[in-house]
Amino acid sequence: MSVFTAIDEDRELDEEDFTPGIEPQATWCPGCGDFGVLKALKGAMVELGRDPDETLLVTGIGCSGKLSSYFESYGFHSIHGRSLPVARAAKLANPGLEVVAAGGDGDGYGIGGNHFVHTARENHDMTYVVFNNEIFGLTKGQTSPTSPKGHKSKTQPHGSAKDPIRPLSLSLTGGASYIARTAAVNPNQAQEILVEAIEHDGFSHVDFLTQCPTWNKDAKQYVPYVDIQKNEEYEFDITDRREAGEAMYEAESALYDGTVLTGRFYHDETRPSYHEEKQSVGELPEQPLAEQYFDPDREWERSLELVENHT
């Protein structure tokens, strides 16, 4: 007896399948970039033919973290900064799941920065979408790790003395094998990138520029963006770490000067995912763990066999 019957591949899905019919209206502010992520994610799921029952969306805390409330699938709305360890362990326990984690820049690059680097390093086969609005939204407009230097907020009334974090470079250094940046104001590119990111076997990091009209009116996410894949000036080899690193560095520096560079920055299809690595050292079972418990015929080894070592 199987716990998980195969998903019906021929099923016709549309965005409605990912829209919960019963919960209250989204509590995001009008004009919030988060709507753009939601729409792009639904579109990507439909395009990929994923089913809500085979998808696990794990979110952190923040306006961004509410994504799981407005998206129909298995969801886990965890705690601030901790979505990644929850998500990657769920994926290890059941590799058949399509696992997507999402959170904000405070959530993912601040409090969860350690998990971000390590999940990238291990190259878990999952997608991580970071809503980068350069501000703490839910707690009402404090400076975030991506806020520009000099940014004034209630907690940095004299202006931030810190350089913003470089999420793309950090991700590359960490070891992510797919890295892209897109923006809520560009729904088509956003969906394309999410499709690619989800399909990629390994850790995909999407830095998703989202506008926060309520707390961060100055953010550059409003200005026209440049799609680096469509502009010859920015030509580089996205499979080459060095070239990718240079492109990221440029994009990260330019962002605060008003040039928003989006697109794919790095794509390494050769690096084995953590699942493959772990399986190769004999540390990952073939069968999802949950299958084991539902299998009444399974022989369970007993500790009694180990106790012999102690006599």
Ligand X SMILES: Cc1ncc(C[n+]2csc(CCOP(=O)(O)OP(=O)(O)O)c2C)c(N)n1
Residues that bind ligand SF4 (CB under 6 A): 28-29, 32, 34, 63, 133, 137-138, 212-215
Cβ proximity of 197 and 263 under 8 Å: no
Site string for other proteins, 84-103 (x = CB under 8 A): xxxxxxxxxxx-xx------
Two tokens, residue 8:
């019906």
Q: Which residue number, 21 or 30, has a Cβ lying nearer to ligand X?
A: 30
User: From the list ligand SF4, ligand X, other proteins, none, which binds 139 (C-beta under 5 to 8 Å, kind-based)?
Assistant: ligand X
- The footprint of ligand X on this chain (CB under 6 A) covers a number of residues equal to 18
User: From the list other proteins, ligand X, ligand SF4, none, which binds 28 (C-beta under 5 to 8 Å, kind-based)?
Assistant: ligand SF4
C-alpha 58, offset from chain centre: 9
User: From the list ligand X, other proteins, ligand SF4, none, which binds 74 (C-beta under 5 to 8 Å, kind-based)?
Assistant: other proteins
Q: Does 53 sit near other proteins (CB under 8 A)? A: yes
Positions in 86-145 near ligand X (CB under 6 A): 103-107, 131, 133, 135-139, 144
* Gap between the Cα atoms of 145 and 156, Å rounded: 12
Q: Which residue number, 28 or 109, has a Cβ lying nearer to ligand SF4?
A: 28
Q: Which residue number, 126 or 255, has a Cβ lying nearer to other proteins?
A: 126
Positions in 14-43 near other proteins (CB under 8 A): 20-24
Q: Does 61 sit near ligand X (CB under 6 A)? A: yes
User: From the list ligand SF4, other proteins, ligand X, none, which binds 32 (C-beta under 5 to 8 Å, kind-based)?
Assistant: ligand SF4
User: From the list ligand X, other proteins, ligand SF4, none, which binds 290 (C-beta under 5 to 8 Å, kind-based)?
Assistant: other proteins
Q: What is the contact surface with other proteins in residues (CB under 8 A)?
A: 1, 3-5, 7, 20-24, 52-54, 56, 58, 61, 66, 68-69, 72-79, 82, 84-94, 96-97, 114-115, 117-118, 278, 282-285, 287-290, 292-294, 298, 300-304, 306-308, 310-311
Q: What is the contact surface with ligand X in residues (CB under 6 A)?
A: 61-64, 80, 103-107, 131, 133, 135-139, 144
